[in-house]
Amino acid sequence: MQRVGVFVCWCGSNIAGTVDVQAVSEALKNEPGVVFSANYQYMCSQAGQEMIKTAVKEHHLTGIVVCSCSPRMHEATFRKTAVAAGLNPYMVEIANIREQCSWVHKDVTAGTEKAIILGKAAIAKVNLNTPLTPGESPVTKRALVIGGGIAGIQTALDIADAGFPVDVVEKQPTIGGKMAQLDKTFPTLDCAACILTPKMVDVAQNDKIRIFSYSEVTDVRGFVGNFDVTIKKKARFVKEDVCTGCGACVEKCPMKKIPNEFNLGMDNRHAIYIPFAQAVPKVATIDPDACNMLKNGKCGICSKVCAAGAIDYKQKDEIIEETYGAIVVATGFNPISMEKFDEYAYSQSKDVITSLEFERLTNAAGPTAGMLVRPSDGKHPHTLVFVQCVGSRCESCAEKGKEYCSKICCMYTAKHAMLTRDKYPDTEVYVFYVDVRTPGKNFDEFYRRAVEEYGVKYVKGMVGKIVPEGDKLKVQASDLIANKQLHLDADLVVLAAAIEPDHSARPLATMLTASMDTNDFFTEAHPKLRPVESPTAGVFLSGTCQGPKDIPETVSQAGAAASKVIGLLVKDKLTGNPCVAIANELTCNGCSSCERVCPYGAISYLDKEFRMPDRTTKIRRVASVNPAVCQGCGACTVACPSGAMDLNGFMNNQIMAEVDAICK
Amino acid sequence: MKHNNDLREEILRMSGVDTAKCMKCGKCSATCPAYDEMEYHPHQFVGMVEIGEIEPLLSSESLYKCLSCFACVDRCPRGVAPAKVVEAVRLTAIRRQGANHMTANDVPLILETDTPPQLLVSAFRKYTK
Amino acid sequence: MQKITREQLIDQASELLANGTVSTVLGWGAGEFGYDVTPTLFKTAEEMQNGFVFNDFCGANFSKYLVSKTKTLEGKLLVFLKPCDTYSFNQLLTEHRFDREKVYVVGIPCEGMADIAKVKEISGEGISSIASDGDRIVVTTLYADAPVKIDARNVLAERCIHCKSKKHVAYDTLLGEEGDVVASARFDEVTRLESMTPDERFAFWQNELSKCIRCNACRDACPACTCETCVFDNPKSGVENKSPSNSFEEQMFHIIRAFHVAGRCTDCGECARVCPQNIPLHLLNRKFIKDINTFYGEYQAGAEVGSRSPLTDYTTEDLEPSEIFVGRNEHA
Amino acid sequence: MQVTEYKPLIVAFCCNWCSYAGADLAGNNRLAYPADVKIIRVPCSCRVNPTFILRAFQRGADGVIICGCHPGDCHYTSGNYYTRRRMATLFSMLDFLGIERERTRVEWVSAAEGAKFAATMNEFAQKVAALGENKRLEDLRCKK
C-alpha cells in the first residue's frame, strides 16, 4: 500500500477563491492510502516545496498528490521536489484544480465538490504508480548521410568539421548530384562547377569523411544513437583504391554508343566511364549492361591499357555494415517525366527539351561544349520559347503532374532566358508564365534585369500546344494581357518541368520508418519549429527530399541538419522518456496488431521460449518494445486484443482507477 | 464585384465547375482551336462567370463558336473544365429562348456519309436541351 | 446434402497418412448424438474408419484448433477446411498464430450445414438417430412412430443461408471443384435493425442479451479469440469477470468481445452456431463488418494473408465519428 | 433555466498535447463550463481504450467525450487517426444497441482553442442533461 501525501494549493485566491481548500484537504484525508493532507497558500513556492519535503520525511510518504494548477505548469517542479525528498519523480500526480476547476466554475459548492473528485482521481492513480526510471542508451559518434548532392556534401562537411566521422552514401559513381549538372547559378551567375567542385574535393580530402559512391542503403535497423545500417557497394569492376582516373581505359573502350546519363542522353559515353572530369571519387566505372567483357567475356581492352592494373572483371558487390548515431536523408530530386504531356510534343521533337537538358546544352563541359544549338540539326536557334509550370501546380493531372509549386523554375528560367540573350543577342526569347514567383534576396531584381536589360519577352499566359512542322515548332499560346492567342514559330522550346523526390526516397522512408507526405517528400517533425528533423528520432532531413528548394536554401538547411546531428552526437548517452509502452510477454499473442499502429517502428518480435506448468517448453512469438524509440502515445495499447500492451505512467488500471474515482 | 449571383450559382451548378480553382494561366485559351472566332475566349468565360459578369457572354456569338472539342478540359492543369462553363452559359441562353434548336428528328435530314459523327454529337449537344 | 462423401475424405487422409506427408488428422468425430459432431484427432486410417464422421452437422471451424495443436504435435497436421474456415485460417496466419509449415490443408466443398435447432423444430425433441439421405435428413425420434424426412435446404444454418464464399482462400489440396465468392444478403438483418428506432433496437437487444448465461462458448469457439489469456480471465485487465455480477458487465462482455474481433472477424458464424441460447451474436460482428465496409471500403478479413485490418490502419480523409449517422436511413 | 434540470456526470478524455492544453486555456481565459465535466489526461486520444468508455458508463457516467489534436496535428503524427476509426465504429455499435448517440462524442480541440473547448463542453453537457440519467447501458440485459 502506498503512503500518500495530499497537498492542496490555494494559489493565492486563484484556487481558494472558488474552492474551499480546507474542505478539500479534509475530504481527501480519508481516501485510501492517504496518510497526510494539508493545504498551503503557494505550493510551488520555496516554502510550499519545503512543506512537501518535510512531510515526505516525517510521514514516510511514497506518493504525492498536489492539487494545484495544470500539470503542464508545475508537474516538472513537483517532480524535482520529490527527487529532492528522496522519491522517484514519477510518484507525483497533479490534480488540476485551477485551470480545470476554480477558473472555470463560479459556484463554490460545485467547485469544491469537483476539486475533491479530481483529487480522489489523482489519489486513485498515484496508488497504482510505480517508480519509473528512464532508459539510457549510448550514442555511436558517427553519422550517415544518404545522398551526395550539395545537401549531403554540405551536411557531411559541417558534421566532419565538428570532429565527428561521417559516411556519405551516393548511388551514382560520383558525388555532386544535380548541382554538378548545372551551368550557372542564380542570382549571381557564378558557375556551378566553380563553387561545387572545391567542396567535392574537400569531402574527398577530409579524413573524417568516407564516401561510398555507387552504393545504396539496403537495410536500417536500430534507433536513435544506434542505427545498424547495411550498405551495398555495387561492383564497379574497377579497384577504387588503385584507379588513378587517368582515363586511358575510357579512351580505348570500343563500346561508345551508350547514352550518357550525365548529359541526359544528349551524347554518348563508353561502357567504362568517368561521369565528368571533376568526379569524386575520380575513378572509372564499368557499366555491366554495356560491357562486352562482362556480358560475353570478349574484349578486355581496358584491362590491357590500365597501367595501374585497376580493372577487376570479377569484382562482386560489397556489403558494408556500420553503426551510426544519426542519419541524414539528402536524397534530392529529379525532374518529372515529360512523356505524358502530349501537347508539348516532348517525345516527338528533339528540339523540345527540359530545363535540365538546357543546362547541359549551355554548359561548357556539356555535349556541345556550351554552344547553344538545336539537338535535332545542330543549328543555332533564333526563337526560343520557355514554358513555365509544366507539371507544377497541376491539380487535375495527378498521373502526370504535381499539385505543388516546384519553386525553383521561375528563377532558373529567368537565368536561362537572360544568359541566352546575353550570349546570343540575335535571339528572340519568350517566357510564358502563370505567375512569376521570385521571393528571395536579389531574386526579383534578377528577374527584372532579364526583362529590362536583356529584353526577354515575358508573356502572361500558358502555351496550349506545340506542333513540330518542318524544322520549326509551331507554338500556340495565350497572351492574357493582350487578350490574344499567339502563334509563334520557335526553334527551341524549353519546358520548366516540375521536380519530384528521387524514387529511392520511398523505400528508404520505409526502412527508416520516417513518414512522407502524399508527394513522397519527407515530413518534418514540426513544419515550423523542427523543420530539419524527421518525426523519427535520429533521422534528419537535408535538401529537396523535404520539399522543393534552391541551392542557397538547400545549403542552409544542410547546415541546420548538421547542427542537429552534432547536437545529438556530442551526447554520450541519451536519456529516454520512461513513460513508454511495455509488453507483457505472458499474455502477448504475437499478432502484430501493435506493430502495425506504432508510428515509430518501436515494436519488434522475438521468438521466446516459455516454460509451461507441465514442465514442457513452448516457443512463442512475443512483442518487445524498444524504450529508446517509443514515444509513449499508447496507440498499441488499444490495438492489442489481449491487453498485453500497457503504457508506463498511463497504465490501463491507472486510467480505470481514475474513471472509477470520478464516477463513484 | 458580383453582378448576377443567382445566375452565376446556376451556371456553376449546371456545369459542375469550380471556377475558384482557376489559377489564370490561360492554357485553355492557348489550346483553343476556335480562339480567333471568339469574342470572349475560354479563360474569359471562366473569369467572367467567376465574377458574375454573365450577360455579355449570353449575348455573344462566342457561345456558338466553341466547338466543344474539350481540348481545354483536357489540358487545364487545375481541372476547371472551361468547355463545361461555356456549355452551361449556352444552355442558359437556349433555355431563355425557350426552344431547342435541334431535335433528334432533325438529325437524319442533315446526316451525310462524310459527316464526322463527333460533329453531329457536338452539334446535338450544343443545340439541344 | 454434401457433394463430397465421408469415404472420399478418409481416402484422401489415409493416403497422406500412408505416405508420411502428415502425422495426424484433425477431423470430425462422433459425439453423443448424431448431430453433436466433435473435433477429433486421428492418427491412423483405421481410427478414421472407426470414428470419423462427415455429415450435414460438421459445422465446426477447425482453424482455431491449429493454434494449440500445431505447438504440441510431431509432424504435420492434416486439417479439413470448408471455404468459410479458410478465411479464419488465413487470418490466424496473418496474426502469426501458428506455423503454416506444420499444417496440411485439405479444402473441401460445402453445400451448407444444417442447424439442429431448426431440425428439432420439425422433428421434435428426443432424436435417437439422424442420417443424411441425398438432399434429405432422416430423423428418428423417441416419440414419433415413423422417421421424419426433412429437406436439408429447409434447415440450413443461418450463416449458410447467407454464405459469403464458396471459394477456398487457402489449401494444399482441394477436393471437388473450386467455387466463387458469392453475393450474399448477410447484411440484410443488420440493415433491418438499423432502420428501427433506437427504442426498438434497444428492446431487441435487451431481449436477446438477457438470454445470455455467460457460458463463454462464443468466445471459446471464435477463431479470432485465440488470446493466450483472455482479458475477461485476466485479473490485471480491469475488465475481468468470469460470471457477470451485474447486468452491465453482461453487455460490456458482448461489446468488448465484438470490438476485440472487429476488423479481424471473418464472419465465420461460429459464435452464433455454438450459442446455447441462440443469441444472434453474429449480428454484432456483422455490424462492425458492415460499418467498416461502408466507412473505410470493402474489407474481408482473411481473404489474404498479411492484409492490414482497417482498425489498425487509417487515411487522412477518414469519416469523422460525428459523421457516421449522416444520411443513414432510419427513424431518428 | 429549469430548477429541476438533471446534473449529468461527464467524463472527458483529453490528449496531453492539444486538448488538455485547450482546456487549460479555457481556464486561463475564465471560460465557464459545467462542473459536471471531469477531465482525465491521456498522452494521446489513441490511448483511450473503448473499455475505459464502457467502464465510465458502467460506473455511472452519463456522457463520455474524447478530445484530441486535430487530424494531421497529432503530436505522435497518427494517433488521432486511429482514434477516429476506433470511435466511429464503437459509437456506431453503441447506437446499434439502442444507446443514445448523444452520450458519446469525439471532438478535436487544439491547444489554441480554449473557447472551442468550453463551448463544446457546454453544448455536450446540455445534450447529455436533456437525455437524463444513463439507464440503457445498464439495463440492456434485463428484460422488462
Model confidence over A396-455: pLDDT tens digits? 766 789 999 999 999 999 999 999 999 999 999 999 999 999 999 999 999 999 999 999
Choose, out of D13, D41, D57, D66, the residue to mutate when testing the contact with A (most A CBs < 10 Å): D41
Nearest to A395 among B21, B26, B43 (CB): B21
Distance CA A356, CA A531 (A): 28
CB-based contact C175:C108 (threshold 8 Å): yes
D47 touches chain C (CB under 8 A): no
Task: Based on the fold, state whether residues A38 and A20 are members of the same structural domain.
Answer: yes
The DSSP 8-state label assigned to residue A524 in this structure reads P
Provide, rounded to the nearest whole percent, the portion of chain C with pLDDT above 90: 61
C213 touches chain D (CB under 8 A): no
D137 touches chain A (CB under 8 A): no
Task: Based on the fold, state whether residues A239 and A263 are members of the same structural domain.
Answer: yes
Task: Based on the fold, state whether residues A303 and A404 are members of the same structural domain.
Answer: no
Range of the domain at A283: 143-332+538-565
Looking at chain A, which residue has its C-alpha nearest residue D10? A663
Task: Based on the fold, state whether residues A295 and A193 are members of the same structural domain.
Answer: yes
Number of domains in chain A: 4
Backbone angles phi, psi at C63, to 5 degrees: -55, -35
Backbone angles phi, psi at A51, to 5 degrees: -60, -40
- The answer on pLDDT for D142 being more than 60 is no
CB-based contact D115:C224 (threshold 8 Å): no
Backbone angles phi, psi at C312, to 5 degrees: -110, 30
- Cβ separation of A652 and C237 shorter than 8 Å? yes
ipTM of this model? 0.78
Q: How far is D81 from chain C (nearest CA, A)?
A: 6
Local confidence band at A78 (pLDDT 50, 70, 90 cut-offs): very high
Distance CA A604, CA A629 (A): 11
Task: Based on the fold, state whether residues A310 and A421 are members of the same structural domain.
Answer: no
The grid cell for A533 is: 528533423
User: Which pLDDT score, from 0 to 100, does residue A536 have?
Assistant: 83
CATH 1.10.1060.10 fits B5-98, yes or no: yes
Local confidence band at B1 (pLDDT 50, 70, 90 cut-offs): very low
Strand boundaries in A208-356, DSSP class E: 209-212, 215-223, 226-233, 258-259, 268-269, 272-273, 285-286, 318-324, 326-329, 333-335, 352-354
The mean pLDDT of chain A is: 94
**A532 within a domain of the structure (yes/no):** no
**A69 within a domain of the structure (yes/no):** yes
User: Which pLDDT score, from 0 to 100, does residue D144 have?
Assistant: 40
SS (H, E, C) chain B: CCCCHHHHHHHHHHHCCCHHHCCCCCHHHHHCCCHHHCCCCHHHHHHHHHCCCCHHHHCCCHHHHCCCCCHHHHHCCCCCCHHHHHHHHHHHHHHHHCCCCCCCCHHHHHCCCCCCHHHHHHHHHHHCC
Looking at chain B, which residue has its C-alpha nearest residue A465? B31
A304 touches chain B (CB under 8 A): no
Model confidence over B84-113: pLDDT tens digits? 999 999 888 887 876 666 677 777 777 777
pTM over 0.80: no
User: Which pLDDT score, from 0 to 100, does residue A487 have?
Assistant: 96
User: Which pLDDT score, from 0 to 100, does residue A274 have?
Assistant: 96
- Grid look-up 545500417 returns A229
Task: Based on the fold, state whether residues A415 and A355 are members of the same structural domain.
Answer: yes
CB-based contact C332:C199 (threshold 8 Å): no
Structural domains in chain D plus CATH codes: 10-137 (3.40.50)
Distance CA A224, CA A355 (A): 39
User: Which pLDDT score, from 0 to 100, does residue C211 have?
Assistant: 86
Model confidence over C208-218: pLDDT tens digits? 888 888 889 99
User: Which pLDDT score, from 0 to 100, does residue D143 have?
Assistant: 39
Model confidence over D11-55: pLDDT tens digits? 999 999 899 999 999 999 999 999 999 999 999 999 999 999 998
A118 touches chain D (CB under 8 A): yes
More confident residue, A379 or C133: A379
For chain B, the domains span 5-98, 101-129
Local confidence band at C99 (pLDDT 50, 70, 90 cut-offs): very high
- Mean pLDDT for C140-156 is 88
**A518 within a domain of the structure (yes/no):** no
Residue A345: give its domain's CATH number: 3.50.50.60
Distance CA C258, CA A259 (A): 61
Q: How far is A294 from chain C (nearest CA, A)?
A: 40
**Which residues share a beta bridge with A617?**
A611
Residues of A in contact with B35 (CB under 8 A): 485
- Mean pLDDT for A27-46 is 95
Model confidence over A280-308: pLDDT tens digits? 999 999 999 999 999 999 999 999 999 99
User: Which pLDDT score, from 0 to 100, does residue A617 have?
Assistant: 84
Please state, as a whole number, how many other Cβ atoms lie within 10 Å of the Cβ of residue D130.
12
Tell me the Ramachandran region of residue D2: left when phi exceeds 0, alpha when psi lies from -120 to 50, beta otherwise: beta
Model confidence over A198-257: pLDDT tens digits? 999 999 999 999 999 999 999 998 888 999 999 999 999 999 999 999 999 999 999 999
Nearest to D76 among A98, A100, A599 (CB): A599
User: Which pLDDT score, from 0 to 100, does residue A513 have?
Assistant: 78
User: Which pLDDT score, from 0 to 100, does residue B126 have?
Assistant: 67
For chain C, the domains span 6-113+157-174, 116-155, 188-323
Distance CA A152, CA A164 (A): 15
Q: How far is B4 from chain A (nearest CA, A)?
A: 24
Task: Based on the fold, state whether residues A109 and A169 are members of the same structural domain.
Answer: no
Nearest to C201 among D78, D96, D138 (CB): D96
Distance CA A272, CA D122 (A): 75
